[in-house]
């Protein structure tokens, strides 16, 4: 366990921090659908992080990271991240609202839609080549000369802790309404949401005497987390291919041990299942949600032997879609 997490092993301290963060976040609603429940033979509670500020759960992680930065004696000149998606957008948004400068390193060929979103959120874009080493080096070089600090999307303790607040809110709200969750499901890509959720649920279970299980859904075409989880060491994606573009990333050395300790299972789903899941969620819940949201939902459909008659919270991770260029269900 990274020393950062130790104070938060106490539920009161964790709750205090999440309560503090809630000042900067939307308390997102939890939606249900009778028709989905009857099809799945289970009770599903969808935590709608597509309604979160900046349109994704990523705002939770960056809010906690920036909260930590602002407590420092020597505040950094700015924050930087390489991201072609929601993390960059969330970081730019949170930085702007805290009067911090923000640079997002994006591949030259990233979509105009995503670049526009980062600029609209108040970030500055620095372009790099479309490969991971160019991304990393561009960030490193910039940090050396600028006094900026990197906020990693998934492998940074403060970010991981922040992401756990979605599950905490979900469990708190269900508890208030006497809904006894058996499972919480999340998608897994870089592992930040997975580790944060696992951590938060394990603290909740200890305090409340519950035994809520955490499962992740992962695309077959980017299955590094699945292989890592079952081999016990970090495995890599050679050429990740999946429609869930936010889940092509890989686990990191900080989140992996937490995932190993606090997640119960990872299920693989195909791109067809992901697209069908996205379409079903959109049609039934009337929500704009990304392909990245589907894997845990698709896993519930795929594994009735595990999920039948269960009470399942699912975190819908985000809703930032280029609708003009989106094909639903195919």
Binding site for a second copy (CB under 8 A): 29, 31, 48, 50-51, 55, 279, 282-283, 286-289, 319, 323-324, 326, 328-330
* Nearest to a second copy of 246, 319 (CB atom): 319
SS3 assignment, position 308: coil
- Rounded to a whole number of angstroms, the minimum distance from the CB of residue 90 to a second copy is 15
Find the shortest distance in angstroms from Cβ 111 to a second copy.
14
> In whole angstroms, what is the distance from residue 169 CA to residue 29 CA?
10
Least gap, CB of 304 to a second copy (angstroms): 21
213 is catalytic: no
Catalytic residue among 84, 228, 298, 317: 84
Is the Cβ of residue 178 or residue 327 nearer to a second copy in the bound state?
327
Instruction: Give the shortest CB-154-to-a second copy separation in angstroms.
Output: 23
- How far apart (Å, rounded) are the C-alpha atoms in residues 284 and 265? 27
What is d(CA 163, CA 47) in angstroms, rounded to the nearest whole number?
13
- DSSP labels for 17-84? HHHHHTTTS----EE--HHHHHHHTSEEEEEEGGGSGGGBTHHHHHHHHHHHHHHSSS--SEEEEE-S
Q: Which CB, 119 or 288, lies closer to a second copy? A: 288
Give whichever of 28 and 228 is closer to a second copy, judged by the CB atom: 28
55: burial class by Cβ within 10 Å (0-12, 13-18, 19+)?
buried
Question: Which is the catalytic residue, given 47, 53, 58, 280?
Answer: 58
Q: Is 63 a catalytic residue?
A: no
**How would you classify the pairing of strands 78-82 and 148-150?**
parallel
Instruction: Tell me the catalytic residues.
Output: 58, 84
């Amino acid at each position: 366990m990274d020393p950062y997490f130790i104070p938060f092993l106490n539920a009161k301290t964790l709750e205090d921090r999440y309560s503090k963060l809630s000042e900067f976040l939307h308390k997102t609603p939890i939606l249900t659908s009778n028709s989905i429940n009857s099809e799945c033979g289970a009770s599903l509670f969808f935590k709608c992080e597509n309604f979160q500020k900046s349109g994704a759960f990523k705002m939770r992680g960056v809010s906690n990271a920036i909260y930590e930065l602002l407590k420092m004696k020597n505040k950094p000149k700015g924050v930087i991240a390489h991201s072609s998606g929601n993390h960059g957008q969330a970081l730019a948004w949170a930085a702007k609202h805290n009067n911090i400068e923000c640079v997002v390193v994006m591949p030259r060929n990233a979509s105009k839609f995503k670049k526009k979103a980062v600029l609209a959120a108040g970030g500055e874009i620095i372009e790099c080549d479309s490969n991971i080493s160019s991304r990393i080096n561009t960030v490193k070089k910039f940090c050396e000369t600028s006094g900026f600090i990197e906020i990693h999307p998934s492998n940074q303790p403060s970010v991981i802790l922040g992401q756990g607040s979605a599950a905490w809110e979900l469990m708190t709200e269900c508890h208030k309404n006497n809904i006894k969750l058996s499972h919480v499901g999340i998608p897994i890509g870089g592992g930040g949401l997975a580790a944060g959720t696992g951590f938060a649920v394990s603290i909740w279970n200890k305090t409340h005497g519950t035994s809520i299980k955490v499962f992740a859904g992962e695309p077959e075409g980017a299955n590094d987390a699945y292989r890592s989880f079952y081999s016990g060491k970090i495995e890599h994606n050679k050429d990740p291919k999946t429609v869930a573009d936010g889940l092509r990333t890989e686990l990191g050395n900080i989140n992996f041990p937490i995932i190993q300790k606090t997640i119960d299972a990872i299920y693989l789903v195909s791109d067809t299942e992901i697209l069908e899941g996205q379409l079903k969620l959109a049609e039934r819940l009337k929500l704009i949600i990304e392909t990245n949201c589907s894997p845990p939902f698709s896993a519930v459909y795929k594994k009735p032997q595990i999920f039948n008659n269960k009470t399942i919270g699912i975190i819908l991770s985000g809703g930032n879609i280029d609708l003009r260029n989106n094909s639903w269900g195919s």
